[in-house]
Amino acid sequence: MKFDIITIFPKILDSYFSESILNRAQLKKLITIKAHNLRDFTLDKHRKVDDSPYGGGPGMVLKADVIDRAIAKIKLKNKKIKSRIILFSLRGKKFDSKVAKRLSKYDQLIFICGRYEGVDERVAKYIADEEVSIGDFVLSGGELAAGVVIDAVSRFIPGVLGKLESLEEIKGSYKVYTKPEVIKIAGKKRIVPKVLLSGNHKKIEEWRNEI
Ligand code: SAH
């Protein structure tokens, strides 16, 4: 899987991608992640990526012509390769585990990260395959959304998760405890639920499914 991020802040996610599971997945060549500077696809000497909105109003709008040029360069041309262009937008389809699983079937995902007042609507209409929102809150840009989607999608790619994490994937989320068995928090003894120490796997399973 190839992830391509189109952004005006290409270094912003580097640190997150270079640790832990996503770093391992890249080293194992299961995924590649590349951030592209939108400015590299401008033609003018000021490398202008945005302009004021038609009809007035505050803020700047990312230019569709520059994004179109970026896509033309980044989208893999091989007919056999399944690419999907995703625009991050508050009006998009809400991202969840189902969407993540569906997206994990593509060979290339290209993310367009908005900033400021958003992106010229012609990108949503004529360039992107779909619009995605990661939740009902406003971020300053689409980059964190790209990080969230890349992380969640990667977990569905065979080989990305180790044994421990894949177990979690199957069972879903349950409450967990680790050593020591008894600790003092603000002066009070706090213990681990007895069932977890019982060695009774059936009971433990039931307890985990209960909550
Ligand atoms: N006034 C604009 C706000 C744009 S926020 C509007 O109403 O659309 C700037 C950019 O951040 C957006 O273009 C989008 O790419 C990204 N963004 C903000 N919140 C987001 C969210 N919840 N999910 C995905 N992308 C988001």
Does the pLDDT at position 146 exceed 60?
yes
Give the mean model confidence (pLDDT) for residues 74-80.
97
CATH of the domain at 123: 3.40.1280.10
Of 128, 145, 164, the one marking the end of a domain is: 164
| pLDDT, tens only, 42-71 | 999 999 999 999 999 999 999 999 999 999
Same domain, 122 and 182: no
Q: Per residue, what are the HEC states of the chain?
A: CEEEEEECCCCCCHHHHCCHHHHHHHHCCCCEEEEEEHHHHCCCCCCCCEECCCCCCCCCEECHHHHHHHHHHHCCCCCCCCEEEEEEEEEEEECCHHHHHHHCCCCEEEEECCECCCECHHHHHHCCCEEEECCCCCCCECHHHHHHHHHHHHCCCCCCCCHHHHHHHHHCCCCCCCCCCEEEECCEEEECCHHHHCCCHHHHHHHHHHC
Range name among 78-87, 156-165, 181-190 with the lowest pLDDT average: 156-165
Position 170 scores a pLDDT of 54
Position 206 scores a pLDDT of 95
Same domain, 130 and 201: no
Same domain, 129 and 203: no
Q: How many domains does the chain have?
A: 2
Same domain, 189 and 92: no
Cβ(112) to ligand 1 under 6 A? Answer: no
Same domain, 132 and 160: yes
Confidence of residue 169 (pLDDT cuts 50, 70, 90): low
What is the rounded CA–CA span in Å between residue 128 and residue 133? 14
Give the mean model confidence (pLDDT) for residues 12-33.
98
Considering the domain boundaries, does residue 130 fall inside one?
yes
Does the pLDDT at position 136 exceed 80?
yes
Average pLDDT, the chain: 95
Same domain, 187 and 151: no
Considering the domain boundaries, does residue 118 fall inside one?
yes
Kindly report the pTM of this predicted structure: 0.94
Position 165 scores a pLDDT of 66
Closest-lying ligand 1 atom to the alpha carbon of residue 116: 9
Confidence of residue 168 (pLDDT cuts 50, 70, 90): low
Same domain, 153 and 195: no
Considering the domain boundaries, does residue 67 fall inside one?
yes
Position 173 scores a pLDDT of 83
| pLDDT, tens only, 82-120 | 999 999 999 999 999 999 999 999 999 999 999 999 999
Confidence of residue 162 (pLDDT cuts 50, 70, 90): confident
Same domain, 160 and 194: no
Same domain, 186 and 141: no
Closest-lying ligand 1 atom to the alpha carbon of residue 138: 19
Same domain, 48 and 109: yes
Closest-lying ligand 1 atom to the alpha carbon of residue 87: 15
Integer-rounded Cα Rg, in Å, for the chain is: 22
Considering the domain boundaries, does residue 169 fall inside one?
no
Same domain, 135 and 62: yes
Residue whose C-alpha is closest to residue 53's, from 134, 120, 108 = 120
What is the rounded CA–CA span in Å between residue 33 and residue 38? 16
Considering the domain boundaries, does residue 143 fall inside one?
yes
Cα of 141 vs centre of ligand 1, distance in Å, is 6
Considering the domain boundaries, does residue 56 fall inside one?
yes
Cβ(138) to ligand 1 under 6 A? Answer: yes
Same domain, 180 and 124: no
Q: Which domain, by its residues, includes 133?
A: 2-164
Using CB atoms within 10 A of its CB, is residue 26 exposed (0-12), middle (13-18) or buried (19+)?
A: middle
Residue whose C-alpha is closest to residue 132's, from 153, 116, 146 = 146
Share of the chain above pLDDT 70, in %: 95
Cβ(148) to ligand 1 under 6 A? Answer: no
